[in-house]
Amino acid sequence: MDGILALAADNLLSPIILFFALGLLAAFARSDLSIPEAIAKGMSIYLLFSIGFKGGVSVADHGIDQTLLLSLVAGLILSFGLPMIAFGLLRVMTRLDVTDAAAVAGHYGSISIVTFVAATSVIGSAGLGSEGYMVAVAAVMEAPAILSALWLIARFGKSSAEMEEGLMREILLNGSIVLLVGSFLIGWITGAEGMDKIAPLVVAPFQGVLCLFLLDMGLVAGRGLRDARGVLTPGVFLFGVVMPPIGASLGLAAGLVLGLSTGGVVLFMTLCASASYIAVPAAMRVALPEANPSVYLTLSLGVTFPFNLTLGIPLYLAVASAVAGG
């Protein structure tokens, strides 16, 4: 327990968390601090490029084994399955109707790549390595939950949800996935030699850019929370902090069965614990416009994202270290 508290305290005092907290406080205080839209977009492109490339280089260094394929399959299964658990919990814990519950559930089967990036930073600070292909696992976990949400609506709902022509192509080829997977493949192909050539851009600025990006995320999350307090009933809020550890537990089990390193287990737990706030909301607006976006955006971005960033990731790191060693 002391170890977990010490890790949580260390994490809370790290620059990335403190900048996130600064953004939250600035938003709550109605400061006019803002990161220009184009710069925020540029930083997210940089982070995806960097994390994808480093993952590919790591795979090139360590080679691939059957665990890679099994990890991808496990990621797919969990992404399909987690919305079912989330939907059941939401129906028990909240008064959300089937449409809103299914839309929220879809977000909790998908992933937050920023939470994943923050987790890689935390395990790096803890001196742990991880399987480079976890980047690919993150990519495959982005979309299946959307199908699960639409199935939940078809099965339990009265409103219709449409997987219209072109939507799946948009989801699978959204810019984040293309850049992440593309950078991963380029890192894999070029390996350490490629890294030597672009390391000053990929490695050195990473932590600083992540701090600035999380400052922006803090501003966004804070404004979202400030403007959507009405939708955050106690049950809905509780779901936002209960669901991540449940997902993380399944990620822990999967990571241990697969025989991942401690760092890899932490990343798998983080992926299963995080909720999407980019790809899935866009898909839900197209396929399920009747669902209230305030509910799912506030939950995933305003509750679960800060929870994972501040308490979740150190908790997952402590649990994985205790169970898997490291």
Partner 1 sequence: MQTHQAKRVEITIEAVMETRLTNALIKAGVTGFTVLPVLGGSGRSGQWSREGQVSRAGGMVCVVCIIRPERLDALLDAAFSVVERHIGVVSVVDCEVLRAERF
- Answer for which of 3, 259, 289, 322 binds partner 1 (CB under 8 A) is 289
Of positions 246, 293, 310, 326, contacts partner 1 by CB under 8 A: 293
Question: Considering beta carbons, is residue 93 or 150 the nearer one to partner 1?
Answer: 150
What is the CB neighbour count within 10 angstroms for residue 234? 9
| Residue for token pair 């800060």 | 306
For 115, the token pair is 């939470």
Q: Smallest gap, in angstroms, from Cβ of residue 223 to partner 1? A: 5
Q: How far is the CB of 226 from partner 1 (least distance, A)?
A: 11
The helix (H) or strand (E) run that includes residue 306 is: helix 305-307
Which window, 82-90, 143-151, 197-205, 220-228, contacts partner 1 (CB under 8 A)?
220-228
- Binding track, positions 8-47, relative to partner 1; x by CB under 8 A: --------------------------x--x--x-------
> Could you tell me what percentage of the chain is helix, strand and coil, using 3-state DSSP and rounding each to the nearest 5?
80, 0, 20
DSSP string computed for 44-70: HHHHHHHHHHHHHHHHHHH---HHHHH
From the list 123-131, 150-158, 283-291, 308-316, the region that binds partner 1 by CB under 8 A is 283-291
User: Residue 40 Cβ, how far from partner 1 at the closest point, in Å?
Assistant: 8
Query: How far apart, in whole angstroms, are the C-alpha atoms of residue 153 and residue 181?
Result: 30
Q: Indicate the residue among 279 and 313 with the shorter CB distance to partner 1.
A: 279
Amino acid at 10: D
Q: What is the smallest separation between the CB atom of 282 and partner 1, expressed in angstroms? A: 4
By CB under 8 A, tell whether 199 contacts partner 1.
no
Residue 178: its H or E element: helix 175-202
Of 64, 204, 227, 229, the one binding partner 1 (CB under 8 A) is 227
Distance CA 73, CA 77 (A): 6
Stretch that binds partner 1, among 54-62, 137-145, 147-155, 292-300 (CB under 8 A): 292-300
275 is written with which tokens? 């909720």
Type of residue at 265:
V
Q: Does 279 bind partner 1 (CB under 8 A)?
A: yes
Burial group, residue 230, by CB count within 10 angstroms (0-12, 13-18, 19+): exposed
Contact residues for partner 1 (CB under 8 A)? Answer: 34, 37, 40, 216-217, 219-220, 223-224, 227, 277-279, 281-282, 284-286, 289-290, 293-294, 297, 301
